[in-house]
Amino acid sequence: MMKNYKTRILSNQEIAPDYYRMKILAPGFGQHARPGQFVMFRVQRSMPPLLRRPFGVFRTGFLPADCDGMPEKEYLEILYKVVGHGTAIMRELHSGDAVEVLGPLGRGFEPGDPQREKILVGGGIGLVPLFMLAEDRVKESPVRLLMGGRTRDDILVVTEFERLGVETYVSTDDGSLGEEGFVTQMLERKLRKYPDAEVYCCGPLPMISAVNTICAAQNVPLQVSLEALMACGVGACLGCVVKGAGHTEEHPRYLCTCKAGPVFHAAELDWHALGTPAADSCEGCKS
């Protein structure tokens, strides 16, 4: 159930250059959040940027009770990369600062067939929504994570997946960590070994498209988590629409990434149109 949490930050730590993890006090959030869902985070109230920013839910949990008798605190955690104005403000926030978070939002990952291997493919910060999925799926099926980044600095929290019992494989474009090359090369090899696997993917669009091409060629079920510019996060502004499979001028089929997604079955999307604006975005989406 979606709720607007007027709450405060518990911690905000740099984990690699330009990457941060933030724990936010959120009583009751965990019982509603599903793997792959996201929150809209209001950076600040009165000054630009006025719009909330979308972030995947990395995990939920409880901080232990304090020794001075304070009860345990339920939190949600996000992992973010500083890319612009809003995230630059976020990196300056501290424990105790007041924030607003709307969520959990959107359609998350479907669990798939428990009899089949799961291969999770993450690119850079795209790893975020895969953690709760791994946590959930590893109880029933073998889970393997293929994680790609430009350099070693883009490879985050892989050991936390390993602690769940997930087998992890890393590639970097420059070879500074793991195998040199693209994560898609690893995927092709793994699918030769585990042809019955189901694939789940989140990362930059070129990577997702390449993963879709590989999976489509082998009839491998694929779910992808898409990123889009989002102004409202709840289906009201139409700033985040993408074209669905079968879209034509005569029979338009638009999907809001925030409500119909951000997770889609690959077959639901018009892959040729992805990456080009699906409709005129509202001006508000840009501030």
Closest CA to 125 of 58, 216, 52, 186: 58
DSSP letters, 163-226, are HHT-EEEEEETTSSSSEES-HHHHHHHHHHH-TT-EEEEES-HHHHHHHHHHHHHTT--EEEE-
Distance in angstroms (rounded) separating the CA atoms of residues 69 and 197: 48
Among 9, 42, 56, 156, binds ligand FAD (CB under 6 A): 56
Tell me the two tokens of residue 21.
């993890």
Contact pick of 9, 76, 93, 128 for ligand FAD (by CB under 6 A): 128
- Rule CB under 6 A: say whether 84 interacts with ligand FAD: yes
Q: What is the bridge-based pairing of β-strands 53-56 and 38-42?
A: antiparallel
For 180, phi then psi, to 5°, come to -80, 130
Of residues 256, 263, 266, 278, which one binds ligand FES by CB under 6 A? Answer: 256
> What is the Cα–Cα distance from 145 to 161, expressed in whole angstroms?
8
H or E segment to which residue 185 belongs: helix 183-193
Task: Choose between 107 and 116: whose C-beta lies nearer to ligand FAD.
Answer: 107
User: What residue has token string 């009583």?
Assistant: 27
Q: From the list 35, 227, 239, 241, which residue makes contact with ligand FAD (rule: CB under 6 A)?
A: 227
Contact flag: residue 101 with ligand FES (CB under 6 A)? no
Q: For residues 52 and 190, which CB has a smaller minimum distance to ligand FAD in the complex?
A: 52
Which among ligand FES, ligand FAD, none contacts residue 79 (Cβ within 5 to 8 A by kind)?
ligand FAD
**According to the binding rule CB under 6 A, does residue 102 interact with ligand FES?**
no
For ligand FES, which residue of 231, 260, 263, 278 counts as binding (CB under 6 A)?
231
Q: Which does 156 bind (CB under 5 to 8 A by kind): ligand FES, ligand FAD, none?
A: none
- Interaction of residue 49 with ligand FES, rule CB under 6 A: no
Residue type, 278: A
Choose, by CB under 6 A, the member of 76, 125, 210, 224 that binds ligand FAD: 125
Q: Is there binding between residue 207 and ligand FES (CB under 6 A)?
A: no
Q: How many CB atoms lie within 10 A of CB 286?
A: 11
Contact status: 86 vs ligand FAD (CB under 6 A): yes
Provide the binding-site residues for ligand FES, judged by CB under 6 A: 230-233, 235-240, 256, 258
